[in-house]
Amino acid sequence: LWTPDNIIEDTVASVREQVGGDEVLLGLSGGVDSSVVAALLHRAIGDQLTCVFVDNGLLRHQEGDQVMATFAEHMGVKVIRVDAEDLFLGKLAGVSDPERKRKIIGNTFIEVFEAESEKLANVKWLAQGTIYPDVIESAGSKTGKAKVIKSHHNVGGLPEHMKLGLVEPLRELFKDEVRKIGVELGLPYDMVYRHPFPGPGLGVRILGEVEKAYADTLRLADHIFIEELRRHDLYDKVSQAFCVFLPVKSVGVTGDGRRYDYVVAMRAVETIDFMTARWAHLPYEFLDHVSRRIVNEVPRISRVVYDVTGKPPGTIEWE
Ligand code: XMP
């Protein structure tokens, strides 16, 4: 019988059998899959698990602190937080091509993660949040075209020379099963049912060159949009929602006169499989409210637009 309880029990048993008394390393991203793996492995092997959480400076508003609060403070999981914002932003300086940005972010992640893992001398296993659809997708990508469109860096794993055995406890599960297990393991509902967030993070939501000031601005705008979606009970009605930073300036007026500042686009879609999507027909009143809040509260934003492009012809992300 499939119940979250049974799955947890089976998986805990098989992980214990697989790794014995060895130390296990996990790259924790804050996304659903790696979060559930962290909770599951913590239950199975407690302190034999060490998580490495890389803050690349391209995460959402307060995301790093939330990850630490949930896992380290609340659950007692061993988490090493690596503050690598300067490194990532340094490597991204002057780069505007989306695929190059993705490659740089992916490679830098591996570099940072490897450097951290070398400090943990006794690690024998690498845990990954691979789920069943990832297994299918990466198998298909050798012949199919899906992967060519955008190089997703969160599947595929680490360089050969790391020589760690793989622990992939979610390999046979679908996303909804992973979520149910997550809730059962005591992870916060909001974390487990969060919209997907791309591996390269805000790196592909700041069009063109990435700058820290742009990322800070985008984080604030995005946070307002998401907060209002939750407040208006719309968050769970859309599949994915976020803001995009457009590094173009537009003229606006305020009480004190003219301003010349940047543009933010709001994007919200409804989709089952993320291969095709419909732009979410959010109420005008709601869009009006969010737009006013963003322009009033976020410095350097003078204009807000709403993306009314489906997929196809658009992609969900702007890069
Ligand atoms: P697109 O923009 O291709 O997005 O319509 C489809 C889904 O994939 C996510 N996405 C990514 N996820 N690394 C990821 O981990 C990436 O480089 C990447 N690009 C897009 C996107 O957020 C959406 O859910």
pLDDT digits (tens, 9 = 90+) for 72-125: 999 999 999 999 999 999 999 999 999 999 999 999 999 999 999 989 988 999
**Does residue 146 line the site of ligand 1, with CB under 6 A?**
no
Pocket test for ligand 1, best of 149, 240, 272, 274 (most atoms within 8 A of CB): 274
- Tokens 């190059």 belong to residue: 100
Q: Tell whether ligand 1 has an atom less than 6 A from the beta carbon of residue 106.
A: no
Distance of alpha carbon 158 from the chain centroid = 18
Domain ranges of the chain: 4-192, 205-306
On whether the pTM is more than 0.95, the answer is no
Q: Which fold has domain 4-192?
A: Rossmann fold (3.40.50)
Amino acid 8 reads I
Q: Is the CB of 196 inside a 6 Å radius of any atom of ligand 1?
A: yes
Residues 91/100, Cβ–Cβ less than 8 Å: no
Q: Report the alpha-carbon distance of residue 296 to residue 2 in Å, rounded.
A: 50
Tally of CB atoms within 10 A around 127: 28
Q: Residue 186: which region, alpha, beta or left (left: phi > 0; alpha: psi -120 to 50)?
A: left
From the options 3.30.70.1230, 3.30.930.10, 3.30.300.10, 3.40.50.300, give the CATH code of 205-306.
3.30.300.10
- The residue whose CA has the least distance to atom 11 of ligand 1 is 198
Q: Which atom of ligand 1 is nearest to the CA of 239?
A: 24
Is the pLDDT confidence value at 198 over 80? yes
Asked whether 309 lines ligand 1 (CB < 6 A), one says no
Under a CB-based contact definition with an 8 Å cutoff, are residues 235 and 241 in contact? yes
ipTM of the complex: 0.99
Can you tell me which residue has the tokens 């301003």?
A: 259
Task: Render pLDDT for 253-270 as a digit per residue (tens, 0 to 9).
Answer: 988 889 999 999 999 999
Helix (H, G, I), strand (E, B) or coil at 55: strand
